C-alpha cells in the first residue's frame, strides 16, 4: 500500500485556505494547516458549473510549530512580509527530502525562502486564482483565467502539477517561468496599489483616468524588467490590461482586503521591488515610487493604529 503524502500548508488565508481546501477535498493526502488558531472544518466555496457550492473539508490544524514533523510538501502561503515569522514552521516541517512550494507574490521567492528550509528544495509558484477569506474558517475560490497556478516545467514543477490533479485548481507548466512571473508582477503592480489606495474593488480599473495611470505604472515596470534581462513582448502593457479585464469588477485584491482589515500591506514585493530594481538598473520609476511612498504611509498609519 502506497504511503499517503503529507502536505503542510503554512498560512490559511485567501490563497492558502483555497489550496488546502482543494487538496483536502480529494482525500488523497494528509493535509495539515499551520495557523494561529485551530479551525475544523474548513469551508471551501468554489465554482460548480455556473453556480458556487460550499464544501466542508475536515482539516487537521496545528497552532504550535513544535508540534510539527517533516512533511513531503510544504506550501508557504503567507504574505511576503510574513516569511520571517514562518521560519519556526519551516524549520520543523522541512528536511532534505521536502519540497517547498512558495505561493507568494513577487519575483524573488527562492532567494527569500531558501535560507529558512534546512536544505529542502524550494520552487516558486505563480498564483492566478482569486481567493477571498470570508471568515476564519471559510474561503472562496473564483477563477478568471485559463489556469489557476503556473510552475516551471521541470521535475519539481511536474510533481507539483500531479499533486493538484483532480482538484479544482488547474496548473500550467511553463518553460519560461521568469517571464510569466514578471507578467504577474505587472498585474499586481497596477491592481493591488490602486484598489488599496482607492478602497475600491477592481471595477475602479475601468475608469479612463485610472487606465492612463495604470499604463504609466506598467511602462516603468516593463522598462525595469527589460533592464533586468527579461525577454518581453512589445505590447506588454496592453497584455497586462487585457488580463486585468478578464477579472470581474466585483473582485478585490489581496492588498485591498488587507487595507479593509487594517493589516500590513504587501508593498515591498510589488511596488518596492520595481523601484529597487529600477534604481539598480538606472531606470526611473516615478509613478511606482509615488505608489510605494503612499502605501508605506498607509502601512505606518495602520501600525500606529
- pLDDT of residue 1 exceeding 60: no
Question: What's the mean pLDDT in 216-226?
Answer: 97
Give the integer Cα–Cα distance in Å for 140 and 9. Answer: 17
Give residue limits of the domains in the chain.
6-175, 178-304
Average pLDDT, the chain: 94
Residues 6+ apart with CB under 8 A from 63: 35, 36, 37, 38
Question: What's the mean pLDDT in 46-57?
Answer: 90
Question: What's the mean pLDDT in 286-294?
Answer: 98
Question: What's the mean pLDDT in 81-91?
Answer: 96
Catalytic residue flag (residue 79): no
CA angle 103, 268, 94 (to 5 degrees): 35
Q: Give the pLDDT score at 146.
A: 84
Q: Is the pTM of this model over 0.85?
A: yes
pLDDT in tens, 189-216: 999 999 999 999 999 999 999 999 999 9
CA angle 158, 162, 168 (to 5 degrees): 125
- pLDDT of residue 84 exceeding 80: yes
Q: Give the pLDDT score at 305.
A: 61
Q: Which fold has domain 178-304?
A: 1.10.1040
**Do 139 and 43 contact (CB within 8 A), yes or no?**
yes
pLDDT in tens, 148-194: 999 999 999 999 999 999 999 999 999 999 999 999 999 999 999 99
Confidence category of residue 304, pLDDT binned at 50, 70, 90: confident
Give the integer Cα–Cα distance in Å for 102 and 106. Answer: 10
Q: Give the pLDDT score at 233.
A: 92
Give the integer Cα–Cα distance in Å for 61 and 39. Answer: 7
Confidence category of residue 105, pLDDT binned at 50, 70, 90: very high
Extract the C-alpha cell encoding 204.
Answer: 475602479
* Cis before 179? omega within 30: no
- pLDDT of residue 301 exceeding 60: yes
- pLDDT of residue 37 exceeding 90: no
Range with the lowest mean pLDDT among 64-68, 97-101, 252-256? 252-256
Does the fold of domain 178-304 match that of domain 6-175?
no
Q: Give the pLDDT score at 2.
A: 67
Catalytic residue among 79, 175, 184, 277: 184
CATH number of 6-175: 3.40.50.720
At residue 267, what are phi and psi to the nearest 5 degrees?
Answer: -90, -35
Amino acid at each position: 500500500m502506497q504511503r499517503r503524502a503529507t502536505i503542510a500548508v503554512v498560512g490559511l488565508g485567501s490563497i492558502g485556505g483555497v489550496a488546502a481546501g482543494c487538496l483536502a477535498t480529494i482525500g488523497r493526502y494528509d493535509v495539515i494547516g499551520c495557523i494561529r488558531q485551530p479551525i475544523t472544518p474548513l469551508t471551501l466555496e468554489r465554482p460548480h458549473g455556473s453556480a458556487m457550492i460550499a464544501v466542508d473539508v475536515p482539516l487537521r490544524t496545528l497552532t504550535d510549530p513544535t508540534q510539527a514533523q517533516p512533511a513531503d510538501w510544504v506550501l508557504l502561503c503567507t504574505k511576503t512580509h510574513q516569511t520571517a515569522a514562518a521560519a519556526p514552521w519551516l524549520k520543523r516541517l522541512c528536511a532534505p527530502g521536502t519540497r517547498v512550494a512558495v505561493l507568494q507574490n513577487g519575483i524573488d521567492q527562492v532567494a527569500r525562502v531558501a535560507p529558512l528550509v534546512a536544505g529542502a528544495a524550494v520552487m516558486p509558484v505563480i498564483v492566478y486564482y482569486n481567493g477571498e477569506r470570508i471568515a476564519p474558517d471559510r474561503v472562496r475560490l473564483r477563477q478568471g483565467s485559463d489556469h489557476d497556478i503556473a510552475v516551471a516545467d521541470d521535475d519539481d514543477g511536474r510533481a507539483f502539477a500531479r499533486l493538484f490533479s483532480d482538484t479544482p485548481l488547474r496548473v500550467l507548466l511553463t518553460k519560461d517561468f521568469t517571464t510569466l512571473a514578471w507578467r504577474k508582477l505587472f498585474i499586481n503592480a497596477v491592481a493591488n496599489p490602486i484598489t488599496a489606495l482607492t478602497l475600491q474593488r477592481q471595477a475602479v480599473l475601468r475608469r479612463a483616468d485610472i487606465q492612463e495611470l495604470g499604463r504609466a505604472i506598467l511602462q516603468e515596470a516593463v522598462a525595469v524588467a527589460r533592464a533586468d534581462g527579461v525577454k518581453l513582448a512589445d505590447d506588454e502593457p496592453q497584455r497586462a490590461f487585457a488580463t486585468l479585464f478578464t477579472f470581474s469588477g466585483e473582485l478585490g485584491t489581496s492588498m485591498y482586503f488587507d487595507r479593509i482589515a487594517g493589516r500590513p500591506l504587501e508593498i515591498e514585493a510589488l511596488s518596492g521591488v520595481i523601484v529597487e530594481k529600477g534604481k539598480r538598473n538606472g531606470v526611473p520609476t516615478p509613478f511606482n515610487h509615488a505608489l510605494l511612498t503612499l502605501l508605506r504611509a498607509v502601512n505606518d498609519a495602520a501600525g500606529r493604529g
